Amino acid sequence: MGFKLESVIPWGRSMREYIQMFDLTPEELNLNVLDCAGGPASFNVEMTLQGYQVISCDPVYKFTVDEIFQRIQDTYETVIQGVTANQECYVWQNIPSPEMMGEIRMTAMNKFLQDFPLGINQGRYVKDELPVLSFASNQFDLALCSHLLFTYSEQLSVKFHLASIVEMCRVAKEVRVFPLLTLSSELSPWLQPVMNELQQRGYSVKIQQVPYEFQKHGNQMLCINK
């Protein structure tokens, strides 16, 4: 059945996970990338250290390092307990246990926290919130959105999903959203309505399998092109 959360929480993943979640090729890593709703992921800092270009945006970036850290601490045990209570919903292959999952996530989030003050000063972290972004049209080659849209289908309406994807399509040539499952490990009820509406508006939409699966059957992303 999976577990539930009342609101979106800060939870971060690594560059290695992003590469698998979004099936990013070495060539695509060289593109101008937007990590939309990036939260406390270490994707930005790891990409930057390797010489790649990425901007992350999230409303959580309006807070200080200490405030973000406290929010992570406040919700950390809730996530671990929720995953522990629903272990049958996950694939324990690359991540062997809920405790190890917590350690892996905290490693990524600590990298983010250490980089955050510098990244804010350099303009790599931007305090933007979907469904309205401050970036110019076609500013990015690729926009990625991890574990927000479809994941939080109970908390975020179908209207929010559609407006957010259309806005990301405004600022980027291609948009990728992962995963397509809700927190309860069920296919999002908003997926088909959103795809149908996007196709009616002239967007090219496809579901693509990726080499990443932590939630059972959560190995697909949605790709949208103008």
Q: 10 preceded by cis ω (within 30°)?
A: no
pTM: 0.95
* Structure confidence at residue 178 (pLDDT): 98
Mean pLDDT, all residues of the chain: 95
* Structure confidence at residue 9 (pLDDT): 84
- Residue pair 71/63 in contact (Cβ under 8 Å)? The answer is yes
Q: Where are the domains of the chain?
A: 15-225
Indicate if the pLDDT at residue 1 is higher than 50. Answer: no
Q: How many CB atoms lie within 10 A of CB 183?
A: 21
CB contact set of 113 (below 8 Å; sequence gap of 6+): 40, 65, 68, 69
Q: In 3-state terms, the chain is what percent helix, strand and coil (to 5)?
A: 40, 20, 40
* Structure confidence at residue 8 (pLDDT): 83
> Bridge partners of 204?
225
Tens-digit pLDDT profile for residues 32-61? 999 999 999 999 999 999 999 999 999 999
Instruction: Identify the CATH number of the domain defined by range 15-225.
Output: 3.40.50.150
Nearest to 213 by CA among 204, 202, 221, 205: 221
Quote the tokens at residue 32.
């101008």
pLDDT bracket for residue 22 (50, 70, 90)? very high
- Residue pair 55/126 in contact (Cβ under 8 Å)? The answer is yes
Nearest to 61 by CA among 10, 108, 107, 18: 10
Indicate if the pLDDT at residue 157 is higher than 70. Answer: yes
Can you tell me whether residue 56 is helix, strand or coil? strand
Indicate if the pLDDT at residue 4 is higher than 70. Answer: no
Quote the tokens at residue 77.
């045990």
pLDDT bracket for residue 226 (50, 70, 90)? confident
* Structure confidence at residue 6 (pLDDT): 62
Locate all alpha helices (DSSP H) within 128-173, ordered by sequence: 158-171
